[in-house]
Chains A and B, each alone.
Chain A
Amino acid sequence: MSEGGGSDFQEELVKDFLLESAEGLESFERDMLAVENGENSPDLLNQVFRVVHTIKGTAGCLGFNRIESIAHSGESVLSLVRDGELPASKEVADAMLRLSDALKAMLDLIESCGSDAEAGDFAELRELLEAVRDPDFAATPVEPDSVSAAEPEPRSEAEPAAEADGRWGLFGDEEPAAESKEETDTQAPADERWGLFDSEPEPEKPVPPSATESSAANDAPEPAGRSGPVAANSTIRVDIDLLDRLMNMVGELVLSRNQLLQVSQKRDISQSEVSLVSQRLNQVTSELQQNVMKTRMQPIGTVWGKYPRIVRDLAGELGKKVSLQTFGADTELDRTIIEAIKDPLTHIIRNAVDHGIETPDTRLAVGKSEEAQLFMRAFHEGGQVNIEIIDDGAGIDGDRIRRKAIEKGLISEKDSELLSEREMVSLIFLPGFSTAEKLSSISGRGVGMDVVKTNIEKIGGSVSIDSVRGEGTTLRIKIPLTLAIVPVLVAKSAGQRFAIPQVNLVELVRLEGEQMESLLEKVYDSPVFRLRGNLLPLVFLSKALKLSAPVAKQASSISIVVLRAERQLFGLVVEEVCDTEEIVVKPLGHLLKGLPTYAGATIMGDGSVAIILDSLGIAQLAGVLNASKPESFATEEESEEAGNYGMRNSLILFSLPGWGRLAVSLDDAERLEEFEADKIIRSGRQESVLYRGGIMKLVRLADHLRVASEESSQEQVIVYKIGERFVGLVVGEIHDIIEESVSLEPAGEQDGILGSAVIQGEVTDLVDVPRILKAARIDIPQNVA
């Protein structure tokens, strides 16, 4: 401890050293893999040389002699390679990667106990580094073989384990006693891995202690934010320009505050002064908010950095050839999300290499190239980040998955016969499913795809899988850009406001007056509602949460918020639906963690607190979920739809004055809105309204269908989204939303009518919306049609 335990200054230096070295080694590994693949530009070689050289130098300064000496051995090999005296062979790369592992292990040790004195002497690695310097080394196959064949195994097993230990838990919040135990533990495998290698013919031997520990550590709570590579996780690099901008804005904020203080001290405050200050404050804060969000955004490449190494080691171990290519590594994501997807992604990659990709022989036999391709792609789309992991391996055998699921009792034989190929493949997401025939050390570690799925769903994302047998598998992950701000629906029950995340929201149904009595039915004692022919179980929010009902209990209307939980629908009955809003999610304190019905809390515009409901928690509390309905099956509604091959359409029924029954497709419509007549602005012949912070043009359907248009005090409008803009179609009166299979009869000469169909026993004309909008000279991109 003599070196590490010194002054604060010394500690600071060590911290910097750990951080820099961890970053350096990451790029070192990446570059070394490139070198191994035959890339040997002087720049690249210089770069890898520099990393090791820096580590050596700094370690020497700080008195970490073991690191210094081993880095020195590595450096001398690299200097030979750089000077062209030694070819950058596979053996050299291998030795270098092992050097990197050894350095990482020592850095971890320094972080946990402040010294590298106990790090063992890495005699094996030293010998290897010596041997590698001999240009004839590659010609003597005995040693490298035994090394490269046997070494990666304990390594790849121990690496995630060590990671899990070091980064995710044990150090973090446990007692010193646990820490010292941890030290000896990390040390033992370290010795076994590099020191006593020869006397340890069974490479699996060192695994068990670390493996069991990794599972223990996985149970521990999220990152504690310490230890070597974690050093990189707990800090973040921010562009200095961005920081300057933030500083500037904070300056502005202070000025605005001063202004506000001044104004507030005046005896008679004029309205205009207040609004001036508040405007400025508004501007500054929203800009500040945006920029602070920006500092949290990080390129996804920061996580991807470690995958080439994992793929390489894994492929080597399994005797497969895989080339990993990444696209869109600069796609930016919120830090917390990057943290959250790290482990699921690792698991998916391991799965792909282990199960998806075939051995070179098999690949050649089916006429594929020997080397398999694995792609990772990330891109932004529709306010979400898409990540795709694509392999050109064997694909997933749906039948095998199905048989396995039956065997494990996850589905019944009868149910399974109804499944489509795609649904069969999706069975791998069921909890308790693991296809590995024998538990390999690589993927069969008890974390199945269901964990991947739950983890991604936890952050509001979704996973889907596409597989073509014999051609490969594509796994798609969609995740929100940030967790911090989500759109919600604000609803009231018993006088209290609740926020319901819109992710779970399917639709809203409002019942008034007599309808309330007649349409709410009961199955024995449980309330249900007939939603387009299907019974929808209802949960009364006030009852479920045991809210004290307000005194006047004669509400004139109720609203049913149709929510989705585990792919099943249920209706949440609230007294009033207020508005949609974008809110900032704040966690509930530790005291309320045990309540599954809430997802957090938020602060509303007026400063009061509203609770965010968790639809799954509420459904479970009220017991409306049908446990026997496996979640990965499509709901009845969906499968019925699939049966009809999409013939079933959702339609909005409405009427114009003098035209009884008209319909448009619900799918294209964005929203239904109602505007007061005096909110409509006329400029020339064009009518528009202010809508979501922009101008929305209105198109009167009656004008285009040449029916006398009647202006009423309330205009009902179907809002369409075209590109980034909204367009409103003014229709007379909206009656209903229905779902029916429609067979269209060609229309007459009437322009703007797609055709007629019999809906609910009456002839209804379908409006050709793209045509109407075109006639109104509003440009439509292809997809609306």
Chain B
Amino acid sequence: MDTQTQFCSFQLADLCFGFDVQRVQEVIRSPLLAPVPLAPPAISGLLNLRGQILTAIDLRRQLCLPEEEDSSEGRMLMIVCCEEGQVAFLVDSVGDVIDVDESSFESPPENLPASVRPFLRGVHKLDSSLLHVLDIEATASALNHEISL
């Protein structure tokens, strides 16, 4: 069990999350997003990435985390490649690339709320904190409709 994986870590409401670094195309400062009326609330808008129109998903809403007080100010977008194309995830801030070993992985606990369950693959136990590993395909395709804000 010496398989090393690299995760691009990011912060969301004091929690540390990670995407497989291979899937992250780039990280940009969030530009002004064009809102999409009638869209599910987790969709925060559209952005123009060098001539390509991408949909931005607000990860806080998608993962049922509390709204940030001074939202949209200085938040970051992670452009992630998934099967259906690229998707932008709105996150609070982006951290380092973290090397983890397969052995530190653990499945999510049973008492995880059902609304978050499909998105969370498990956690990696880091020295001082837990790195939440998200299922990119699930997070980027199935929109969480159960969010109550």
Contact = CB atoms under 8 A, between A and B. Distances in A.
Nearest to A541: B37
Nearest to B57: A591
B147 interface: no
A607 interface: yes
Contact of A611 (B36, B47, B84, B141): B36
A224 B52 CA distance: 22
Contacts, number: 63
A496 interface: yes
Given A608-B48, A609-B47, A609-B48, A591 B143 contact: yes
A586 B35 contact: no
B53 A590 contact: no
Contacts of A597: 37-38
Contacts of A610: 34
Contacts of A603: 48, 51, 53
A611 B34 contact: yes
B46 A590 contact: no
A737 interface: no
B55 A496 contact: no
Interface residues of B, number: 24
Interface of A is mostly: mixed
B55 A591 contact: yes
A545 B48 contact: no
A48 interface: no
B24 interface: no
B89 to A, nearest CB: 12
Contacts of A547: 37
B85 interface: yes
Interface in B37-95: 37-39, 43, 45-48, 51-55, 57, 84-85, 87
B108 to A, nearest CB: 24
A496 B53 CA distance: 17
B43 A496 contact: no
Interface residues of A, number: 22
B149 interface: no
B1 interface: no
B141 to A, nearest CB: 7
A102 to B, nearest CB: 38
B112 interface: no
Contacts of A496: 34-35, 37
A595 B53 contact: no
A155 to B, nearest CB: 38
B32 interface: yes
A196 B39 CA distance: 57
A611 B48 contact: no
A298 B25 CA distance: 34
A598 B46 CA distance: 13
Contacts of B51: 603
A597 B39 CA distance: 10
A609 B43 CA distance: 15
13 contacts: A496-B37, A588-B46, A589-B53, A589-B84, A590-B141, A591-B43, A591-B143, A592-B36, A595-B36, A603-B51, A607-B48, A608-B48, A609-B47
Pairs of residues from A and B, 5 with the lowest C-beta to C-beta distance, nearest first: A545-B37, A609-B34, A589-B55, A590-B84, A609-B46
